Each structure stands twice: as structure tokens, then as C-alpha cells.
Chain A
Amino acid sequence: MKYVDEYRDNQLAQGLLREIRQKTTRPWVLMEICGGQTHTIMRYGLDELLPSWIELVHGPGCPVCVTPASILDRAIELAQRDDVILVSYGDLLRVPGTKTDLFSAKARGADVRMVYSPLDALRVARLYPDRKVVFLAVGFETTAPANAMAVYQAHRERLDNFFLLASHVLVPPAIRGLAASPDNRVQGFIAPGHVCTIVGCADYADLVQEFHVPIVVGGFEPVDLLQAILALVTMLEEGRPAFANEYARSVSYRGNLEAQRILGEIFEVADQSWRGLGEIPQSGLRLREKFAAWDADKVFDLNVLPVEAPSVCISAEILKGLKKPTDCSAFGTVCTPASPLGAPMVSSEGACSAYYQYRRHSLVAIQ
């Protein structure tokens, strides 16, 4: 399959692994930001193939993982109202709020529907003019433009029964928070390729200057990631942290200007709560005042209860790269994908879920 097979080529990958082994003279801790990258690393076993001196830790870049339970509680509350159809992406429907998830709410009679894009959500709104259609929209800079487009389209069509329940998160403020943290141990970052495809690279280059830490934009195939790791290791070994783009087939320095324009028109940057990481200043997007009529948070009177911190789950430390999933006493025992205790076990892209899915045989005794 063209544009995929080349980046999964065994010979290319082995060549890059050899080069990485030759260049590495001491231990380095690298973080891949995106859950999709974590998934590739585990799925292809890159962590097993890399020299043991290179420790990969996993960042907060899984959109499902970092979606706060409070927004799911709000979505579930809305879904249970008779006049509401709650629509969202499939994997979000089984993410637990504080008490239950949307699939369970659906099983009890709530009108919850799975869509593949926000434009499908608009279609539902057109089909059911007498119902209020709420689209639960989460995710990073990658999914936000399409969600913005849906609001723009609803505005143009004067579709007054479509609402966005939004919880968007931005990557650069999260990296800033991680890099600035006194207990940070990450020495190099693999920036998320898809996010940079939309917003460009300027913020990442600025972070390099600010924290003197190398940042390399990486793609999502094994060869992409090995190239990014090689670039990081080379910079670290040579002591010259810099910014580099190893995903040039998708990412330009300025990004997708049209997507940025629609994002800026519909959303404004705001403080945002992250599951596992808490509130990060200026790390989210909210609908501008002009679009308040489509903002579920403003239109509906929602009852949000405070959430309690768990006693065992160490997901915050995992999302910050301070600990590995296997450092958790609940991993693979009381915390599994079927009954997750914390965010990184919930989504298939979460770090704990990836370890459970792909590495359990070498980590825990099989029952």
C-alpha cells in the first residue's frame, strides 16, 4: 500500500535502529506526545528493538484520555433528556464519566448515536428538527477545525437545533507545563505530526528556545518514529538542542492556514481542564461569543458535580512521563481496558491500554 508500506519497511527500520545504536552513548529519556505514536511504538515493538538506554515515556496526547470526566458527565446528563440526541465519535461513547458512560446511558434508553464526522452530526440535526442535537466534540488541534466547520455550517444554515459540547485541548501549553515542571525528566520530545500539520511548527520551535530541549516532529509509522528518535538522539549526543521536522510529507512550517482561519473564527483560546493533569492555562478552545447560540455549555442549564481523585491510579504521573504504566499497582489487575481506573487505560491509544494490549506477557503473570 503506497505511502504506508515504505514507512513500515523492515530493512529501513533495521538500518535506522543500527544508526540509533551506534549514536547512543548514554541513557536518554524521550517522550512521544501523541497517543497514536504510543500505539505504533507498542504495536510494532519499537521499544523492544531500541537500545535499552533509550527510555520512551508517553505524553498526554490521547484525546480520549485527557477529556475530563466532568464533560462526559455533562454529555450523559444531556443524553438522558427526552428532547436531546447526543452524538459523538465511537471511542468516546465508552469513556467513563464519574458514574457511568454514554454506552451505558444508551443501554438505559438515552438517545446516543455514533457518528464518523461532525458533518454527520449536522445531518442528524437536519433529520430531526424537533429534537436538540448535541455533538460532543473533543480532541486536539487535529479534530477542532472540522468541529469549527460544523458550527460555521450550522450558523450559515441557521440550524438552531445543533449544539456543540466542546472540550478541545492544545498541545504546546501542555508541553510547556511538562518542560517547566521541576520534576520533569524528559530530555527530548517527539511532537505530534498531525497537530503540526494543522497549526504548523512555530510554537514548537519557540519551545526549543525557551527550554533548550530538542523537539522533532514525528509521524505515526515505525520508520517515521525511528527517524524522529534518531534525530533527537543525534542532537542530544552532540549537545545542540534544536527543532527539526521529520514528518515533512505532511507538515509544513506554517501549517494549514485555512484550517487555522476557521479555528480562529469560531474558537478562542481559554483555560482548559485535562483529565489527569488538571487545569492548564490557555490550553483549550471555547466557542466565541458570536456563536453562543450553538454552545451547549451556554444554552443548557447543566448540573456539574465535582469529581473525586482516585486512591490508586497514577495516571497523572504517567501522562507527565514520570512513571510507566507498569509502575502502577493496579495495572493489569484491578485496572484493565474492560474496567479502567484511569484515563490512560480507557482509550485504545492510552499508554496503559497500549501496555496492556501489547506487552502484558512480559509484564504481569497471566491469570
Chain B
Amino acid sequence: MSPLNCPLPIVDKETVLLGHGGGGKLSADLFRDVFLPAFSNSILGRADDQAILDLGSARLAFTTDSFVVKPLFFRGGDIGSLAVHGTVNDLAVGGATPLFLSAAFILEEGFPLESLRKVVASMREAALQAGVQIVTGDTKVVEKGSCDGLFINTAGIGLVATTLPLSADQAKPGDLVLLSGPIGDHGIAILAEREGLSFETDIVSDSASLHSLVAEMLATGATIRCMRDPTRGGVASSCNEIAQSSRVGIQLEERAIPVRDEVRGACELLGLDPLYIANEGKLLAISAPEDAGQLLAAMQRHPLGREASIIGRVTSENPGLLTMRTALGAVRIVDMLANDPLPRIC
């Protein structure tokens, strides 16, 4: 064998990569290194899915999100309903009742008006179901080739009734981790319809508004430390964020995490881990241990939480880390993804 050598790669960090939008470590780096120092304030610093604004007489939740999903129409939804659900959910997991949304459209020259009408009708339907009104908006048109048909930005405002300090930094050792149902449905439904990936699956996106599920949970009076809708980056990224913000460990039980067979099968084929796949209608909650039972029961009574389960617990060991007890009984790390999850070569 010839003399050994291994090249020393220098990874370019001076341009924005697709991974910066993937919800993993690169996204977190961008927030910490670029946005947080520039906009520095205590509300943004909490890095929750929504800002809670204490106005004295009222507590408001405020959030915004942009939707650049491809394809625009997929099994179980489309970019319009997704844009409503995503923003409603970011408000709901802050303990807020969602009230008003804005909708801004970036349209590509040549985009069929018929498709736009379909998307807008779908938004209207989703807003009606969520009990929110779309009260302001904006439209821009860019030259052909400048965007992928249609991008939507939505922002939302909701009223926070609870006095619970719901935030990713509130988890305490001993708390339990609850999940509202099987993971990965949305991400796999989207992947299955992407150009170039032709495998048949019956998986339908789980895209849904979670506000009524959250309302049921809050009505129990249970001590909920924080809630997240595990979208980009999946359950793994949300739990990692909570573990880091709260400086606690979180340990999941592999056997307790519900994953549909079709999702597992697609993930096996593509070399992906369901824990990192996006969801759009699932809810993670960290609860005080004594209240977890009644909270779980409340979730299971709701249609969106019927398959809810307790999937792990918060620990004082390994602060800042998410670990998982594997089906065979060993413990391993579930890391924050460095980049977007990509199908492997073999």
C-alpha cells in the first residue's frame, strides 16, 4: 500500500448553503452568529417559535414563517393550508389562541392564476377551521426564474391566556416528554412527490392546525413546561433545542416513538432517520411528571392526539444532549443535524 495521506478539506462558510435553512445546526449557527447579535433583545434571545409580548393588560404571541415548499400541492395539503397551519401552530405551542394572520405572496411571472386561486381557497378553508382571520397582506411579483412559482409568508398574532411560562428553557429533570402521534408523515409525503423520486406510498401529510389540541391540554390545568411543533429538523431537532435551552438532558425511548410502517419503509429505502423528518401537525410537550398522565389522556381524547404517547424523560445527566435508549437497551446520542438530511449513496 502506498504512503498514507488524507486531504484536509476547508469548508467554505462564507456563502449561504441550503443547509442553513434546514432547521439543524447550520440554521442555529445562522441565528446565533448573524441574526441574534444584530437584533439582540431578551425576547428574541429566548429563541422560541413565537415571541410572547407582555403588554401589561394582555399577553400577545407573535410569529412569522415563510413557506417555500416544493411541490406546491401534495398529498394531504398544499402550500396555502401549510402556511396557515404552520403559523397557527407556532402561536398555539406558545399557549396562545391564534387570532389574526397576515399573508404575503411572492409570485413568479408566468405562474398560473388558477393555481393561485386554488392555493388561496385552501388558505381560506384552513383559516376558517383554525378560527383565524387573514387581515392584511402583500403581493410582489418577481421575474421568471427568480422564485419557484410561489412563496408565501404568514405572520400571526394570538392572545395568551395562560400564565404558565411556556418556553424551551423551562424543562426540568424528571419531566416527561409527550408526543401527539406518529412522526415523519409530512416530510415523507413531500419527498415521495418530489421530482426524481418515484416510489409509491400512501403517506399523507399530517398538516393540521393544533390550536384546539393545545386548548384541551391547557384546560387540564396540568403543568406544561414547553410545547413545540417539530417541523423542519423533526423531533430530534426540537428536543435538542429544548435540552440546550434548559441545560438538561433528554432521553427518548426508541420503542415508544410512534412511526408508521410506510414512513419507516421509505426512510429505510432512502437512508433517512424518521426522527429528523419534518412534521406539520404534531406536537411535543414537556410536562411535570405528576401531570403527564392527565395530559396524555387529554391529548388522546382529541382527534389530533389519538395516538399520543410518552416518549421520553428529562434528565440531569448529559446536559444539553438528546440521547435515546435503543430498542436493544443501549444508549446513544441523537445529534442535532449538521445539515439537511440527504438520501445516502448506498
Contacts and interface: CB of A to CB of B under 8 A. Distances in A.
A116 B343 contact: yes
A181 B4 CA distance: 12
Contact of A316 (B6, B320, B328): B6
A338 B25 contact: yes
Nearest to A339: B11
B306 interface: no
A100 B343 contact: no
For B17, B265, B320, B332, which residue has the most chain A Cβ atoms within 10 angstroms?
Answer: B332
A101 B29 CA distance: 19
B327 interface: yes
B346 A43 contact: no
B5 A92 contact: no
Interface string A24-55: 00000000000010000011111011000000
B333 A359 contact: yes
B7 interface: yes
B6 A310 contact: yes
Contacts of A139: 345-346
Contacts of A309: 4-8
Given A36-B346, A89-B344, A107-B16, A366 B9 contact: no
A337 B11 contact: no
A277 B11 contact: no
A115 B197 CA distance: 8
Contacts of B196: 115-116, 120, 123
Contacts of A36: 346
Nearest to A314: B6
B6 A43 contact: no
Interface stretch (B62-70, B216-224, B334-342): B334-342
Interface string B1-31: 1111111111111011111000001100100
B38 interface: no
Contacts of B268: 1, 4
A94 B339 contact: yes
Interface in B293-346: 318-321, 323, 326-333, 335, 338-339, 342-346
Contacts of A340: 9, 11
A69 B338 contact: no
B175 to A, nearest CB: 19
A277 B2 CA distance: 8
A172 B227 CA distance: 52
Interface in B74-90: none
B10 A96 contact: yes
Interface residues of B, number: 48
B9 A98 contact: yes
Given A116-B196, A361-B318, A46 B6 contact: no
A349 B6 CA distance: 17
A279 interface: yes
Given A1-B264, A98-B7, A341-B9, A360 B333 contact: yes
Contacts, number: 186
A343 B331 contact: no
Contacts of B25: 338
Interface string A258-288: 0000000000000000011111100000000
A342 interface: yes
Interface in A91-127: 91-101, 103-104, 106-108, 114-116, 120, 123
A357 interface: yes
A77 B265 CA distance: 37
A93 B344 CA distance: 11
B54 interface: no
B16 A343 contact: no
Contact of B11 (A14, A48, A100, A177): A100
Interface string B81-118: 00000000000000000000000000000000000000
A238 interface: no
Given A43-B332, A338-B25, A1 B265 contact: yes
Contacts of B342: 90-91, 93-94, 114
Given A277-B1, A360-B335, A348 B344 contact: yes
B2 A279 contact: yes
A222 interface: yes
A311 B18 CA distance: 30
Interface in A309-330: 309-311, 313, 315-317
A194 B335 contact: no
B315 to A, nearest CB: 11
A308 B338 contact: no
Nearest to B195: A120
Contact of B323 (A92, A140, A222, A361): A361
B324 to A, nearest CB: 9
A100 B12 contact: yes
Nearest to A309: B5
B343 to A, nearest CB: 5
B335 A278 contact: no
A80 B327 CA distance: 46
B15 A310 contact: no
A346 interface: yes
Nearest to A336: B338
B33 interface: no
Nearest to B24: A338
Contacts of A342: 6, 8
Interface string A153-190: 00000000000000000000000010001000000000
B11 A44 contact: no
17 contacts: A1-B264, A10-B328, A45-B330, A49-B329, A63-B345, A89-B345, A91-B343, A92-B345, A94-B342, A96-B10, A101-B12, A116-B196, A308-B8, A316-B6, A336-B338, A338-B11, A343-B6
* 5 interchain residue pairs of minimum CB distance: A45-B330, A96-B9, A90-B342, A310-B8, A316-B4
Given A45-B326, A194-B346, A360-B321, 20 more contacts: A1-B264, A44-B328, A46-B330, A63-B346, A68-B7, A89-B345, A91-B343, A92-B345, A100-B11, A107-B15, A107-B17, A177-B1, A278-B5, A311-B8, A316-B4, A341-B8, A357-B333, A357-B335, A361-B323, A366-B318
